[in-house]
Amino acid sequence: MGVAGMKILISDSLSMQGVEVLEKAGFTVVVKSKMPKEELFKEIKDADGLIVRSGTKVTAELIAAADKLKVIGRAGSGLDNVDTPAATRRGIVVMNTPGGNTVTTAEHTMSMICAMSRRIPQATASVKAGKWEKDKFMGVELYNKVLGIIGIGQIGSHLTMLAHGIGMSVVAFDPYLAQESAEKMGVTMVDLDELFRRADIISVHTPLTPETKGIINAHAIAKMKPGVLIVNCARGGIINEGDLFEALRAKRVAAAAFDVFEEEPVKPDNPLLTLDNFICTPHIGAQTTEAQENVAVGIAEQIVDYFTKGVAKGAVNIPAIAPELLPRMQPYLTLAEKLGSLQTQLCQGGIERVTVEYSGEVATLTVAPLTIAVLKGLLTPIMEHAVNYVNAPIVAKERGIELKEIKSSDAGDFTSLIRVKVEAGRNTHLVAGTLYHKKDARVIEIDQFKVEVVPEGHMLLIHNVDRPGVIGMVGKVLGDNSINIVRMQCALEKRGGNALLIIGSDTEFPSGVLDQIKSSSNIISVKVANLS
């Protein structure tokens, strides 16, 4: 495919090495950062490709104004500023460069740890103010200290290596990491409460999700060692800023260091900024020359490959498969990803093995992209950085997840069937799905229960004893809390045995509602899954 006459718009600052890759390939490259909205909408109208960093907000409105746009490339891993569903609906490929910032962000985290442990920013300010307060800036050694890492992804893993080099020991909490992988890294896996009790320094490296929002709060801080150091170079909101302020002011937490905030840019009146034992940087964890060159060249090469070879490397919304096969594969890809996502949200413990079985017509297809889709769904809810069709197998391998594929011609009563078995800890979980009318995804098995579930939206899965009144009780609790039931199904293991009640809603299920349901003597377990 020729690229002469194709326009690539770069709307944020980008390393010149990336621009040169595009120009050498023959593209017309327009570099304009910090454009007013009117100018941006004018420039996007005839652009074939768009490259952004974090400054440009690629909204549905902007995407709708792009008459020729075929690909959006994010020079970095985060895609918070790109409306990927809107792009997908328009048939626009969205790409990123996962892993390009791993080393840089880990190094920045370690730099923050060193800076706050030796009070370097405060001492620098003192000397520049004409003072020589040597006795005021007593620090602490990192040697033999315990670093607690919440979330061992790529950045957490590299930070572990840096910590070992200083002579620190590392404990970590990550419910999705297999024990064997942790042992190879020299990490001791613990539960969250034990990490709080043991760690001298705590660093968070998780995505911001409903489960991780405010994971460090007043209740958690009360369990920590007096004088603990806390650092956040991951996502704003993982640490409750109000609770941390009170703990820092009372010296319950000796010091804290942030590269990210709940609201960015951070407001000048944020109380944390008034504290001498709090240091911060303006979200520069990925700001090194090397990292910016890596992501700039990476995204430029990916866009060249897409337009010249049809290879969608680094795509987050389509797999790297031949375009002519995509229409037939797309429904199966959606089903496979939903099954993987459901598994992660239902199972507990470090994932050790994943077995994907393809039966019937689907077994005649090239199933590798489908297996990758399962892994993408499995890993996305638990990873700090974006998981896509390119890096999902690598991420799974790094986490010590064994993968197995099985093909069978017999799909029983169905034309096609995909089964996903996950072994996590000492438990095995099974989900299976099929396509109705060759396009509509359905979940038809959850462990020992035969079901027929549309895998979308917010789902409440209640494992209960088969007794009269359970459905009524659940319905009343949801009704009392103004939660709309979109769909509901009850599956029975055997009469008088256990049942599975599945409720779909268009809104989230608050924790208080879950607690009310759990309090019933007939309830065995209550789990939620978001398959939006």
Strands 498-505 and 458-465: antiparallel
The residue ranges of DSSP E strands in 365-484, in sequence order, are 402-408, 416-424, 427-436, 440-446, 449-453, 458-465
For 489-529, how does the pLDDT look when each residue is reduced to its tens digit (9 = 90+)?
999 886 667 999 999 998 999 888 999 999 998 999 999 99
3-class SS of residue 67: coil
Under CATH, to which class is 102-280 assigned? alpha beta
Q: For position 390, what pLDDT does the model report?
A: 57
- Alpha-helical runs (H) found in 167-260: 179-185, 192-198, 218-221, 241-249
> Which tens digits make up the pLDDT trace of 451-495?
999 999 999 999 999 888 999 999 999 999 999 999 999 998 866
Phi, psi values for residue 366, rounded to 5°? -75, 105
**Beta pairing partners, 9:** 30, 50
Q: What is the mean pLDDT of the chain?
A: 91
Q: What number of residues does the chain have? A: 532
Amino acid at 126: S
Residues 287-296 have pLDDT tens digits of 888 888 999 9
Model confidence over 137-167: pLDDT tens digits? 999 999 999 999 999 988 999 999 999 999 9
CB atoms within 10 A of CB 87: 24
Determine the pLDDT at residue 87: 86
Task: Name the E strands within 217-300.
Answer: 228-232, 253-258, 278-280
Rounded Cα gap, residues 307 and 309, in angstroms: 6
Q: Is residue 327 scored above 90 in pLDDT?
A: no
Model pLDDT, residue 3? 84
| Ranges assigned E (strand) in 163-241 | 169-173, 188-189, 201-204, 228-232
133: Cα within 13 Å, side-chain hemisphere: 15
Note whether 102-280 and 320-455 share their fold: no
Assess contact for 493 and 448: CB atoms under 8 A: yes
Query: How many CA atoms does the CB half-sphere of 25 hold within 13 Å?
Result: 26
Q: Does the model's pTM come out above 0.85?
A: no
Element (H, E) at 150: strand 146-150
The domain limits of the chain are 1-100+286-318, 102-280, 320-455, 457-532
Q: Which one from 141, 183, 211, 264 is the annotated catalytic residue?
A: 264
- Band (1; pLDDT cuts 50, 70, 90): low
235, 385, 429, 458: the catalytic one is: 235
Q: What is the pLDDT of residues 246-267, one digit of tens each?
A: 999 999 999 999 999 999 899 9
- Is residue 283 annotated as a catalytic residue, yes or no? yes
Q: Does residue 195 have a pLDDT over 70?
A: yes
Alpha-helical runs (H) found in 8-101? 16-25, 37-44, 60-64, 84-89
271 CB-near residues (< 8 Å, 6+ apart): 241, 242, 245
- Answer whether 161's CB lies under 8 Å from 150's CB: no
Quote the DSSP letter at residue 153: S
For the stretch 86-124, pLDDT in tens is 887 777 889 998 777 889 999 999 999 999 999 999 999
Instruction: Give the C-alpha distances (Å, rounded to integers) separating 284 from 105, 150, 248, 449.
Output: 8, 20, 23, 49
- Asked if 385 and 78 count as a contact pair (C-beta separation under 8 A), the reply is yes
89 is catalytic: no
pLDDT at 249: 97
**Two structure tokens written together for 294:** 């890596």
**Using alpha carbons only, how large is the chain's radius of gyration in Å?**
25
Q: Which CATH superfamily is domain 457-532 in?
A: ACT domain (3.30.70.260)
Query: Which pLDDT does position 145 carry in this prediction?
Result: 98
- Is beta strand 71-74 parallel, antiparallel or unpaired with respect to 146-150? unpaired
What pLDDT shows up at residue 146? Answer: 98
Give 324's pLDDT tier (boundaries 50, 70, 90): low
Structure confidence at residue 274 (pLDDT): 97
Cβ burial 386-402 (10 Å sphere, 16+ → b, else e)? bbbbbbbbebbebbbbe
Q: Active site residue: 118, 197, 252, 283, which one?
A: 283
pLDDT band at 386 (very low <50, low <70, confident <90, very high): low
Q: Which residues are CB-contacts of 531 (< 8 A; sequence separation ≥ 6)?
A: 338, 341, 342, 455, 456, 457, 458, 459
CA–CA distance, 285 with 300 (Å, rounded to integer): 22
- What pLDDT shows up at residue 36? 94
pLDDT score of 318:
73
Residue 347's pLDDT band, with cuts at 50, 70 and 90, is confident
Quick one: 1-100+286-318 is in which CATH superfamily?
NAD(P)-binding Rossmann-like Domain (3.40.50.720)
pLDDT of residue 322: 60
What pLDDT is stored for residue 384 in this prediction? 73
Topology of the domain comprising 320-455: 60s Ribosomal Protein L30; Chain: A; (3.30.1330)
